[in-house]
Amino acid sequence: MKLNPIEFSFREFASEMTKLKNEKNFDYLVTIIGEDFGNADGEENKDEYSLGCIYILENTQTHERISTKTMAEKIDGNYYIQSISGLYKCAEMLEREVYDFYGIRFLGNKDMRRLFLRNDFKGYPFRKDFVASKEYSLEDDTEVSTTTEYNLDANGKVVETTHQLFKEGDFVMNIGPQHPSTHGVLRLETILDGETVKKIYPHLGYIHRGIEKMAEEMTYPQTLAMTDRMNYLSAMMNRHALVGVIEEALGVELNDRIKTIRTIMDELQRIDGHLLYLGCYAQDLGALTAFLYCMRDREYVLNVMEETTGGRLIQNYYRIGGLQNDIDPNFQENCKKLIEYLRPKLDEYVNVFGDNVITHQRLEGVGVFTKEQCISYGISGSNGRASQWANDMRKNYPYGLYDKVDWDQIVLDGCDAQDRYYLRVKEIEQSLRIIEQLIDNIPEGEYYIKQKPIIKCPEGQWYYAVEGTSGEFGVYLDSRGDKSPFRMKFRPMALTLVAALDEMLQGTKIADLIAVGAGLDYIIPDIDR
């Protein structure tokens, strides 16, 4: 998707975004991209910053996508943009991310705290002239009990309002950062009334690596290894999105052999991710047998992928213009054996865990989130489809060979943790259908379209997205015609999932937090890029 953002001024931005949502039904905020645009000639202005944001929106009825842009206004030495958190719930956390890295304050957002970085961190590291300090601390981060909301008064002056995060007498329990159900180093600061959840404040950034900032100093081939390490259960799809945006910028036309193999590999990765999901979900609820079954069968999938890619946990297989190498001579036959082996196992997972009476009591009616809530929070992928939102990127914006094979987009209406489980089982069956149709029909041809030794994308902005294991994964590229990206932004699958935990779990029991969190399938390195 080549971006030609509609630019709105500081004053008109909020009203124009309201019109886009309410009058033209652009109801899904895909992502917010903060950026230091520099000067028009590409050189950074050392005295003034050219800070702003690009917003990608979707009309969920027509699947039309557009992009908008607004520049931050400097007022009393700080930079401001009107918040759209009142229009899209996911914007609250996405705006905090922009503030954390660029220092842009969003007028009307009630929570302008750091999101990933320490509360005592000095500066905004994604600005072009940021110089990293060699000083570091091994002390615990400073905890804050308030947040600040910024607004403009009638005279255009900034008014600060302090909000208390906690009330007197609140009982606060920390879930994590080291806890099995968080699936990584995530801390959920949870306010309880007895066993009932009143409020959740997620704390992120424990393993943040600054991948987007690192990419600005890398050549395009060097950036490829980054996406594989953001989510090991979606390594193929993540890299597919990255090479896809670069190939689109370069105008690379892939042959059907490359497209076919990529589609097969993506679906093998999806099976891998869903099997781990099903197993870990069972384990988090105390069902060890189902976990062992799923891990046993996941090994079969990894073996099939390894014989071609050479990797098990992370498969560095896609490259700009095609693939690292051709498929193994036994790949097709082993894929067919895998399909034959795995199909009957799907009923086994459901019988041993999914339809267990205890499972039903733990998951039915728990973590209920409607279609409208999923759209507002940007909960795409399997979790959104379990709430009646037909959001599959493979159907709505086909890539690879997804529009050349027969398969069903699974959509359920339970809107709860139980259907999030069932949907993954059903999606494995669809992945097997896709592979089965392609595996005996891989066209002849080259597995790699030769590229120039030094890759330089033309000037422009692009966004390319794929269907990852737990939602839409997208890559934004701003190129200034150099061998390195000027700005590269990744849309993680899981950030919006964590953002939704508070509203999803308010009024439920603390035990439900574990069940719901496990069922959302957030992977922390995907969030902490």
Q: Mean pLDDT in the chain?
A: 90
Q: Which two tokens stand for residue 187?
A: 């801390």
Q: What is the mean pLDDT of residues 281-303?
A: 89
Secondary structure element (H or E) that encloses residue 159, with its range: strand 158-164
Given a cut of 80, is residue 49 above it in pLDDT?
no
258 phi and psi, to 5 degrees?
-60, -45
Query: CB of 420 within 8 A of CB of 372?
Result: no
Strand duo 472-479 + 460-467: pairing: antiparallel
Q: Which two tokens stand for residue 394?
A: 């493979």
- Helix boundaries (H) for 387-439: 393-396, 417-439
Q: Which two tokens stand for residue 337?
A: 């054996």
Q: How confident is the model at residue 42 (pLDDT cuts 50, 70, 90)?
A: very low
The upper half-sphere exposure of residue 456, i.e. CA atoms within 13 Å in the direction of its Cβ, equals: 7
Task: Assign residue 333 a region (left: φ > 0; alpha: ψ between -120 and 50; beta: otherwise).
Answer: alpha
Q: How confident is the model at residue 40 (pLDDT cuts 50, 70, 90)?
A: very low
Fold designation for 6-165: Beta Polymerase; domain 2 (3.30.460)
How do residues 346-361 score in pLDDT, each as one tens digit?
988 888 887 888 888 8
Given a cut of 70, is residue 459 above it in pLDDT?
yes
Query: CB of 369 within 8 A of CB of 419?
Result: no
For the chain, the structural domain boundaries read 6-165, 211-499
| pTM score, whole prediction | 0.92
Fold designation for 211-499: Cytochrome-c3 Hydrogenase; chain B (1.10.645)
Q: How confident is the model at residue 337 (pLDDT cuts 50, 70, 90)?
A: very high
Given a cut of 60, is residue 116 above it in pLDDT?
yes
Secondary structure element (H or E) that encloses residue 239, with its range: helix 235-250
